[in-house]
Amino acid sequence: MVSLLLKSCPQTAASASLESLLEMLNLGLTSYESESAFNKSTRSLQVFEETGISHSEFLHRQHAEEGGGPLGGPLKYPNSCILWLHADQSVLDERLDKRVDDMLAAGLLDELRDFHRRYNQKKIEENSQDYQHGIFQSIGFKEFHEYLITEGKCTPETSNQLLKKGIEALKQVTKRYARKQNRWVKNRFLSRPGPGVPPIYGLEVSDTLKWEESVLEPALEIVQSFIQGRKPDAAPVKMPYSNTENKRSSHMCDLCGRIIIGDREWAAHMKSKSHLHQMKKRRRLDSDAFTTIGSQSISPDRDKELEEKGSVGQNDEDLKSSV
């Protein structure tokens, strides 16, 4: 049912249909699920289609399993570990810049030109290009958009400037994505201790000259220890953690119009740039409204003058009625 709906309807229409199905089936979903985005609604209905129970009941049973916890069910493979290769940020940034340069030397621009000519040029002419869905959202396409659509139509100097702009944008977004990956590891694993989180072993890869002693040998020892069922010599990575449980309660931010799930997530949202921007915008609007009201207010002398005129007018009316 869900898969058929997704194939037969555009995303906006399918989203409305999914929400209607959620209400019709009365799956007992929380506000987090029923008001969330298209993909979350899809997942909720897929769970119901596959299991015959609501998504919330499915999650409740997962948490109640042995090895589960408030943030999820038990590990699919209990005897598992994660090897996390990480480097100093400056070293990583330099390597990522070099990787982009190597991609350009290997023919990245020719691939982009070919893709643009065969798939994207017509969409641009129809003003229907979309860099938010499918392959078009991949890193590399939108960064060279201006360069590709103006190549051969502008001066060589302008074209060269747009090319440099695209290369710099590609390097920046690549480094930003690497930072996002590191944050994901920290937030998903290191900040969530408990039975449902495998141990994380960090391997320092900043110095390639020490690859064998810093990476290869420790990695082999860790994996061999797990295979043999013994504790590795290396200690897993730990992060400071509050014993206070991160309750998965929902918080409604009226200012941003968003529902935030989890106490830690709520605290992070309150400090986020988007929330602070909305606060600043609200203060500015309130200040403008106060200024407008103040400019329309009447001075005390003017109030007194109108009051006296009002009393004179009232006396004239009384005199007319008495006659």
Q: Are residues 149 and 57 in the same domain?
A: no
- CA dihedral of residues 225, 231, 232, 235 (deg, nearest 10): 150
pLDDT at 30: 42
51, two tokens: 């299991």
Q: Are residues 94 and 190 in the same domain?
A: yes
pLDDT at 294: 58
Q: Looking at the domain assignment, is residue 302 inside a domain?
A: no
Q: Are residues 280 and 162 in the same domain?
A: no
Q: Domain residues for 91? A: 82-224
Q: Are residues 143 and 268 in the same domain?
A: no
Q: Are residues 48 and 91 in the same domain?
A: no
Q: What is the CATH number of the domain that holds 203?
A: 3.40.50.300
Spans in the chain with pLDDT lower than 50? 10-14, 28-36, 298, 306, 312-323
Closest CA to 123 of 321, 174, 115: 115
Are the C-beta atoms of 194 and 71 separated by less than 8 Å? yes
Q: Are residues 49 and 89 in the same domain?
A: no
Q: Which helix (H) or strand (E) holds 103?
A: helix 89-105
For residue range 23-45, list pLDDT tens digits in order: 555 554 444 443 445 666 777 78
Domain tally, the chain:
3
211, two tokens: 């690859």
Q: Which residue bears the tokens 């249909």?
A: 17
Opening angle at CA 111, ends 93 and 102, nearest 5? 30
pLDDT at 20: 62
Q: Looking at the domain assignment, is residue 320 inside a domain?
A: no
Q: Looking at the domain assignment, is residue 163 inside a domain?
A: yes
